[in-house]
């Protein structure tokens, strides 16, 4: 069974631009979560989607948004990029939402903002 895939793997953007990252969960998985990983802050939860609805949201500004499609694929968008948004963005999928389901991570998208 194929794992979680994320595209693109690497991205370089300029301050003020916006970016869209894509995540395809493991086949059959319906829940997708997004995390930001930086050397200083570690791994931080962004949001979780299930059945095209946002179930959970972390403490990030409104510039960070996401959505999920009917096939469970998810995208996250960051508008008005700042230098501090440079990070590895990780997507994780699980079979279902809520308690009792393991999350499996993709390889991440490395975003560099210049």
Partner 1 sequence: QQQVKQSPQSLIVQKGGISIINCAYENTAFDYFPWYQQFPGKGPALLIAIRPDVSEKKEGRFTISFNKSAKQFSLHIMDSQPGDSATYFCAARYTGKLIFGQGTTLQVKP
Contacts with partner 1 by CB under 8 A lie at: 4, 33, 35, 42-45, 48, 55-56, 58, 90, 92, 97-100, 102-108
CB of 48 or CB of 85, closer to partner 1 = 48
CB of 62 or CB of 100, closer to partner 1 = 100
| Minimal distance, residue 31 CB to partner 1, in Å | 8
Taken in order 58, 17, 77, 104, the sign of the CA dihedral is negative
| Minimal distance, residue 20 CB to partner 1, in Å | 19
| Minimal distance, residue 53 CB to partner 1, in Å | 12
How far apart are alpha carbons 14 and 67 in whole angstroms? 23
- Number of residues that this document lists for the chain: 114
CB of 14 or CB of 109, closer to partner 1 = 109
Burial class (CB in 10 A: 0-12, 13-18, 19+), 72: buried
Q: What are phi and psi of 3, to 5 degrees?
A: -85, -165
| Minimal distance, residue 105 CB to partner 1, in Å | 4
CB of 85 or CB of 89, closer to partner 1 = 89
Under DSSP, is residue 1 helix (H, G, I), strand (E, B) or coil? coil
């Amino acid at each position: 069974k194929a794992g979680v895939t994320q595209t693109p793997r690497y991205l370089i953007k300029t301050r003020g631009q916006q970016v869209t990252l894509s995540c395809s969960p493991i086949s059959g998985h319906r829940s997708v979560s997004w995390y930001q990983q930086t050397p200083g802050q570690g791994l931080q939860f962004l949001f979780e989607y299930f059945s095209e609805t946002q179930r959970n949201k972390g403490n990030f500004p409104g510039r960070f948004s996401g959505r999920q499609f009917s096939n469970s694929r998810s995208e996250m968008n960051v508008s008005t990029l700042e230098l501090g948004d440079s990070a590895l963005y990780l997507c994780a999928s699980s079979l279902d939402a809520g308690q009792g389901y393991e999350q499996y991570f993709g390889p991440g998208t490395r975003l560099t903002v210049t």
